[in-house]
Structure 1
Amino acid sequence: MRTPLRTVAVVAVATVALLAAGAVFGLRKPAPALSPSTVPVAATDRLAANITRAQERLRKLPRDHETWAALGLAYVEQARVTADPSLYPRAEGALERSLAVKPKENPAALVGLGALANARHEFAAARKFATDALKTNPFDADAYGVLADAHTQLGDPAAATTAIQRMLDLRPGLAAYARASYDLEQRGELAEATELMRRALDAAADPADIAFCRNQLGDLAWSTGDLSGASREYAAGLAASPGYLSLLRGKARVAAAQGDLTGAVNAAGTVAARTPTPDTLLEYATLLKLAGRLPEAARQLTLAEAAHKLFVANGGQDDLTGAQLALARGDAGAAVRLAQAEWRRRPFADVADVLGWSLHLAGRDREALPLLRRAVDGSPRNAGYAYHLGMTLLFLGDQPGALSALRQVRAINPYFSPADGPTASRALSALEARP
């Protein structure tokens, strides 16, 4: 029975272990299914044990191509769980060893290389690995997951939807439903995305799966400005799995929106300390700056830059994060150059937004405008995108356009950013007060 993505008619949700879901999953920044801050200690221990068992087996059977592929994919996962990109070369070595042992008809190795490429933000390479894997096994659901993630980031939403639909048809589990929900969210169909995740939650039994679903639901509620709904989901997720730190990250956002800056700083600091990725460190730095703790904020920004360099040193490509770091430093010119490089590689809505905003801050508003419109068109229920468009229109003197965009921010989620939300509110009030 088909599970149509458009109608989100979920017939049955197979409970899938979080590690299996996360191995080839990367949608948001960070990935919603399994970012470095989402995995409980018990899951991390299980992953380490699986790696040890695979290594022991390979010492006895060094030509076991399937175990080499499984080990490589486990390293990709471990890199995500531990926020340690230095594991990427190990993953690559194991996966290439699998292909050396069995060069043909080895879709597991190709899927693993595709997952690794997605993790490194080499999305075009990931697309090719997944396509090659499907030539050998057209019924490989994990290959469709890798393909969907790559298409999403490469700015081809129609192809991503098609790949997700095939994944749903082949294996309607948590990994497929999470991708489908995100696909609907990107198109602005938030009610349908939420319904899909609620049905997934109804069938979830493992605490990690429950926490994952609750986190997704919390994020969806947050994206609509529903602070109480988001808070309930995050709290319920933490009750199911206290070590699932993405839920604490969500609680930090809610606390900041409710005016509890101290609580937000403490929660964000816990997340950043345990999983020091560029995005968690940048979020923490922003909150510290709002709290007036400028030297500490500067230190977190330095740590974020170091984390980004580590990612690049281990084969990652991420000029988008480089651009965001440049913006945090106040260097709009560098941000433009980096975002332009990223845009050439992947014309995704996030990149269009960052490039457009960088151009605006560099005083190049007319160049910024088509990119910001493209971001809004690609994700029409994103308050941050609408804010950047509105402020750019305001600087261009288009008051009706700015008024419309800033009203959209208020309608979508006025709490979208602890730093920019108040600015949006003030600008909108000033526009509405004009005759």
Structure 2
Amino acid sequence: MRTPLRTVAVVAVATVALLGAGAVFGLRSPAPASQPSAAPATAPDRLAATIARAQNRLRELPRDHETWAALGLAYIEQARVTADPSLYPKAEGALKRSLSVRPDENATALVGLGALANARHEFAAARGFATDALRANPYDADAYGVLADAQTQLGDAAAATTAIQRMLDLRPGLAGYARASYDLEQRGEVASAMELMRRALDAAADPADIAFCRNQLGDLAWSTGDLAAASSEYAAGVAASPSYLALLRGRARVAAAWGDLAAAVTDAGTVASRTPTPDTLMEYAALLRLAGRTDEATRQLTLADAAHRLFVANGGQDDLTGALLALARGDAAAAVPLAAAEWKRRPFAEVADVLGWSLHALGHDAQALPHLRRAVSASPRNASYAYHLAMTLLSLGDHDGALASLRQVRALNPYFSPADGPTAARALSALEARP
């Protein structure tokens, strides 16, 4: 699963709309490290120093609203880098203090609260904060970034694309390029997404920025089944910035696809130990299970559940992860209501897919089908979504539909999952062998 942002459904808009702005062709400075946006990892020691400086200044100038806002943004970034949601209340306190000191025309604090709401998966609230920030400052590129992230998750693809374009018009940089590339990818424009990230890479100088671009390019190559290109990009990223852990997640996927489970488990374990989020822990558990280490896999799922509960305890809303954890434990009955609750909050491609797959696992294939079709329609180059649709069609006895979807999986990325990829290949062979 790609992040910075978890997936997005985007309707077709002419590619030139995102690539045509003149400023896009030259990479300027990316968003400040404290901005909670699609940006490279920030060094923890640099963040700690930033926070310490802000705290010292506020002891002397407790009504400095700008420093309060900067402190809140730094806490959000520190939470992202360290995978520690217990920092969210600190961020909220600092940002609200900034607003209490200056309640009017304080766009920075509103952007920070919007970014915090996005981090907590409170996307409707994030949209509201971003809208308020733009009323205070219509030229705030970061506010458009927050707005784009929120609109993406809320299923308003056209509004998300518009916000990304406005962000690029105001301040082209790595945060905007990453969003634009992702936007293009989700509606099937993978070649254009790669082109945009290569332009960003050509202009990147900082090792962390280079690693970020390489990781994005590696993820794009992997999504098309080009394992050699993906491996090359991840290796180049690690050479530029060995501490950028997202590269190890990608490298683990490639290793698993090549059948090197030992290397995949090692890399996934490193990522899970350093950034123990529910998704990294679940990825690690899945690889451990494939390697036959079921007891260790169960322990990782227990840790993932604890990480999820910590996220919720600090203001997060995430029934999607709850549904994925239930599916990983084989409890489809628990997954369905969680995924359904998430779907009511955000009609988004990944949520549609998880809800449909949960319904299929529970044996409710007819109910699953509309959700799975919606996921595939919204994100047409996602091999996992196509696989889920294929298996549900097969369960319903629609052999022609299943065959078409499985051929789509093979064309998109036959390595999409070390567990499900072989199942897809066997099902396709069986269908193609039918008289």
SS of equivalent residue, structure 1 residue 19: coil
2:209 is equivalent to residue 195 of structure 1: no
Question: What displacement does 1:17 show?
Answer: 6.0
1:5 alignment partner in structure 2: 18
Question: What displacement does 1:307 show?
Answer: 0.3
Q: 1:369 to 1:8 in 2, by over 3 A?
A: farther
Corresponding letter in the other structure for 2:336: V
Contact 2:148 2:161 in 1 (8 A): yes
Q: Which runs of 5+ in 2 are unaligned?
A: 1-15
1:401 alignment partner in structure 2: 401
2:28 is equivalent to residue 14 of structure 1: yes
1:341-399 alpha-carbon deviations (Å, 9 max, x no partner): 00000001000000000000011111100000000011000000000000000000101
Corresponding letter in the other structure for 2:27: V
Question: What displacement does 1:104 show?
Answer: 1.1
Structure 1 consecutive aligned stretches of length 4 or more whose deviation exceeds 4 Å: 6-9
After TM superposition, the structure 1 = structure 2 runs for residues 61-140 of structure 1, keeping only pairs within 5 Å, are: 61-140=61-140
2:246 alignment partner in structure 1: 246
Corresponding letter in the other structure for 2:238: L
1:118-143 alpha-carbon deviations (Å, 9 max, x no partner): 00000000000000000110000000
Corresponding letter in the other structure for 1:5: L
User: What is the CA–CA distance in structure 2 between the aligned matches of 1:78 and 1:406, rounded to whole Å?
Assistant: 42
Question: What displacement does 1:4 show?
Answer: 3.8
2:45 is equivalent to residue 25 of structure 1: no
Q: Which runs of 5+ in 1 are unaligned?
A: 27-32
Corresponding letter in the other structure for 1:120: R
Question: What displacement does 1:243 show?
Answer: 0.5
Corresponding letter in the other structure for 2:30: V
SS of equivalent residue, structure 1 residue 416: coil
TM-score of the pair, normalised by structure 1: 0.95
Tell me the C-alpha RMSD between the 2 structures: 1.2
Question: What displacement does 1:7 show?
Answer: 4.7
Contact 2:31 2:175 in 1 (8 A): no
Question: What displacement does 1:419 show?
Answer: 0.8
User: What is the CA–CA distance in structure 1 between the aligned matches of 2:308 and 2:172, rounded to whole Å?
Assistant: 35
Contact 1:18 1:209 in 2 (8 A): no
Contact 1:8 1:192 in 2 (8 A): no
User: What is the CA–CA distance in structure 1 between the aligned matches of 2:84 and 2:193, rounded to whole Å?
Assistant: 31
1:317 alignment partner in structure 2: 317
Corresponding letter in the other structure for 2:37: F
Contact 2:95 2:113 in 1 (8 A): yes
TM-score of the pair, normalised by structure 2: 0.95
Q: 1:363 to 1:8 in 2, by over 3 A?
A: farther
After TM superposition, the structure 1 = structure 2 runs for residues 33-432 of structure 1, keeping only pairs within 5 Å, are: 33-34=39-40, 39=41, 43-432=43-432
Contact 2:19 2:196 in 1 (8 A): no
User: What is the CA–CA distance in structure 1 between the aligned matches of 2:21 and 2:380, rounded to whole Å?
Assistant: 20
SS of equivalent residue, structure 1 residue 13: coil
SS of equivalent residue, structure 2 residue 380: coil
User: What is the CA–CA distance in structure 2 between the aligned matches of 1:74 and 1:406, rounded to whole Å?
Assistant: 45
Aligned length: 419
Identity across matched positions, percent: 79
User: What is the CA–CA distance in structure 2 between the aligned matches of 1:168 and 1:246, rounded to whole Å?
Assistant: 25
SS of equivalent residue, structure 1 residue 134: helix
Question: What displacement does 1:8 show?
Answer: 7.5
